Amino acid sequence: MAQLPKINKMRFGIIDEVYMNTLANAVEEFKNMKPALDVLVSKALKMKSDPFLAQITGVAEFTSIDMSIGDQIIEAPVVWKYTWSKVEVSNFEEDPQDAGVGGEFSIVDTVPSITTEDIKEAIGDEESGYAFNLAELGNGLTYEEDGTVNGVNVSSAIYPAGFLPMSIPKFCYVSLTKYMSQDTQVFYLFDRQGTHDGSCD
């Protein structure tokens, strides 16, 4: 923005040098504040990011419930928080001779890397940066209503003994989207069908 000249002498009724200099000062102050305003607006608009590819690197229990299975009541995790690392596709080729069979699909970490720990450090909040599975977030509520977890009635007599809801496994790939809570905590969401697993004879 061009520097506005200051006026030494000017009188057209109430439009005098004081008035014009006040306008010039206001424009100059706005120009100085504009970068900070741009950052503030961009943060407000970035409550949600575009999806990106990530690999799950760690799993920790987030929510557990007292689950009734047969005659037993056990405490079982039903929601997990996940650590992740951003990745990208480096090579995606199909072999035209084999109609896609024998092609290559390579996924590598981004450079520079972006991980849950990087988000925590950048924001200065140990609870920020985790990813959550949308398919798990209602598990506690649905269980309280009818015993259903991940779409399966775990209170049913035919639910296999020794089986429980399972987290998404480490090292799988998900599409993450960044969100920001009302208290400015940053978290990430993905949507992947949950599983049930255990030991049975």
DSSP per residue over 155-182, as a string?
TSTTSPTTEEEEPPPTT-EEEEEEEE-T
Model confidence pTM above 0.75:
no
Total domains, the chain: 2
Token pair listed for 19 = 């008035």
Return phi, psi of residue 49, to 5°: -110, 170
Q: Mark whether 104 and 184 lie in a shared domain.
A: yes
Query: Rounded to an integer, what distance in angstroms lies between the CA atom of residue 96 and that of residue 196?
Result: 39
Q: Mark whether 65 and 124 lie in a shared domain.
A: yes
Q: Mark whether 135 and 63 lie in a shared domain.
A: yes
List, for residues 80-135, the tens digit of each pLDDT value.
999 999 999 887 776 656 555 556 778 888 888 899 999 898 888 899 999 999 98
Is 104 a member of any domain?
yes
Mean residue pLDDT of the chain comes to 79
Is 4 a member of any domain?
no
Task: Please answer whether residues 50 and 177 qualify as being in contact, where contact means their C-beta atoms are separated by less than 8 angstroms.
Answer: yes
Domain with 38, as residue range(s), is 11-45
Name the strand (E) or helix (H) holding 25: helix 17-45
Residue 193: predicted pLDDT = 76
List all residues 6 or more positions away from 181 whose beta carbon is below 8 Å from its beta carbon: 187
Is 3 a member of any domain?
no
Query: Rounded to an integer, what distance in angstroms lies between the CA atom of residue 121 and that of residue 129?
Result: 9
